[in-house]
Structure 1
Amino acid sequence: MIASRLKHHLEAQGLPFGTVRHPYTATASECAEAAHVPGDHLAKSVLIHMEEGPFLAVIPSNQKVDLHKLQSMIDRRLGLAPEIELDQVFDDCDPGAAPCVGAAYMVPTVIDDSLRGLDKVWFEAGDHKTLVEMKGSDFDTLMKDAKHGSFCTMH
């Protein structure tokens, strides 16, 4: 099932997308495996806490956010957002299944450069059983307002 705010935003953008159902998974790496998609093409979201409010960092599922790199890129003190903040921002999603499209939730977004220019990209739809699938060029268009940078490291 696609979260209602995400679905509305995707339809408003007029970009083609599909969905991929998969068995329930708790983590992004399990999700990539269950859905048979490459981990470096599965975009996962990490909510970052900042004094001015939260923002979304979007990285490949087989990577983790390097808070030092991100902090110097944003030039602010950062930390991972607590679970409660995540639930408040993504109130139409299952806990831990936040989509990477911050614009649908009025959350500023920064995306890692490694997710640009891919042939296909997948991301959480808002539950733990559905992925949104898009052509990479459409994903790049969808994320055009996000800041870009290089701020992740391998697990």
Structure 2
Amino acid sequence: MMIASRLKHHLEAQGLPFGTVRHPYTATSAECAESAHVPGDHLAKSVLIHMEEGPVLAVLPSNQTVDLHALQSMMDRRLGLAPEYELNQVFDDCDPGAAPCVGQAYHVPTVIDDRLTGLDKVWFEAGDHKTLVEMKGNDFDTLMKDAKHGSFCIMH
């Protein structure tokens, strides 16, 4: 698949430069960072969060875990992890478990952890388990400018 069609269209529409990095199949973000030889704190992973109003996409470094209590306080909403079927419905042009962190491409509100801001480079899932999108950090910051920013993760 390489890069999911909606993600590719959105990135091209933003006019921001990006590249792709191929790597052997991986099932987890930790394996992905290792396999692609990228630092885990620069690999953005996505966690779909379920709220009564609809899903929201939490974006955080791959070497971190969502602190649901902190996110709940930040969003001032009751929330929980979205079930897998909801993830598959939202990201229907992606392989299961390979959701890109660009919620805007999928019309999903996004919240991003501050640890991913101001980096030199950022990588994220392209929609399959073998491809990452690579961007300069300032381009990634521009891409994520409409996301809500905060601190909501803990080291795992």
Question: TM-score scaled to structure 1, two decimals?
Answer: 1.00
Q: Which amino acid aligns with 1:53?
A: G
Partners of 1:85 and 1:121 lie apart in 2 by 26
Q: Which residue of 2 aligns with 1:50?
A: 51
Shift of 1:130: 0.1
Partners of 2:58 and 2:87 lie apart in 1 by 13
Unmatched tracts of structure 2, length 5 or more: none
- Identity across aligned pairs (percent)? 90
Q: Which residue of 1 aligns with 2:144?
A: 143
Q: Which residue of 2 aligns with 1:114?
A: 115
Partners of 2:131 and 2:79 lie apart in 1 by 30
Superposed, 1:3-152 pairs within 5 Å as 3-152=4-153
3-state SS, counterpart of residue 55 of structure 1: strand
TM-superposition CA deviations, 1:72-107 (whole Å, max 9, x none): 000000000000000000000000000000000000
3-state SS, counterpart of residue 123 of structure 1: strand
TM-superposition CA deviations, 1:29-53 (whole Å, max 9, x none): 0000000000000000000000000
Partners of 1:127 and 1:28 lie apart in 2 by 12
Query: Within the alignment, does 1:2 sit opposite 2:3 as a pair?
Result: yes
Would you say how many aligned residue pairs link Structure 1 and Structure 2? 155
Shift of 1:8: 0.1
User: What is the RMSD of the two structures over their aligned residues, measured on CA atoms?
Assistant: 0.2
Question: TM-score scaled to structure 2, two decimals?
Answer: 0.99
3-state SS, counterpart of residue 91 of structure 1: coil
3-state SS, counterpart of residue 97 of structure 2: coil
Partners of 2:61 and 2:30 lie apart in 1 by 10
Unmatched tracts of structure 1, length 5 or more: none
Partners of 1:149 and 1:21 lie apart in 2 by 30
Runs of 4+ in 1 over 6 A off after TM superposition: none
Partners of 2:74 and 2:140 lie apart in 1 by 23
